Every structure is written in C-alpha cells, then in structure tokens.
Amino acid sequence: MGPFTITFEGNKLEVRVQSENVFIVRIPEKMIHIVRRQDNEGASHWFEDGKDNETEQIQSLGETIDTYLQKNSGS
C-alpha cells in the first residue's frame, strides 16, 4: 500500500506503511514511527516506536489509521 492521508486533530497527515504493524506519520512537529501491538484478546494498542508507554494521542492516531485502513481495504 502506498502513502495515504488522514485528518487528525484538524491536520492532514501523510502516513506511509512500513510493515503490517508499523506506520510512519508526519505530524506537524516531526516524523514519527508508530507500532500497533495486539494483546492476547485481540485489542490493538499503539505506541511510538522505541517507547513502552501508550499515550492518548498515539492511541487516537492509531485508531484513525485503523479506521482509514478498514474503510479502504477493498474488501
């Protein structure tokens, strides 16, 4: 999948897929890598790469990416 654009907190952000669970996002302040991890019950949790704490902003950004992917999966 190529790059795509999402709207998050009023900003249009470019998202590139690095792998199935790693996304590169250009936010106004910087470019970040976010990682989706699933717990043993299948719930997705989102983290900034290299960090162990899940912030509300990263979780919300991940959910926005998930929503985009589900709507545009072609299924």
pTM of the model: 0.86
Confidence bin at 36 (pLDDT 50/70/90):
very high
Confidence bin at 29 (pLDDT 50/70/90):
confident
Strands (E), the chain: 4-8, 11-19, 22-26, 31-38, 44-48
At position 45, the amino acid (one-letter code) is H
CA–CA dist 57, 46 (Å, integer)? 10
Whether the per-residue pLDDT at 75 is higher than 60: the answer is no
Contact yes or no for 23/16 (Cβ under 8 A): yes
Nearest C-alpha neighbor of 66 from the set 39, 41, 37: 37
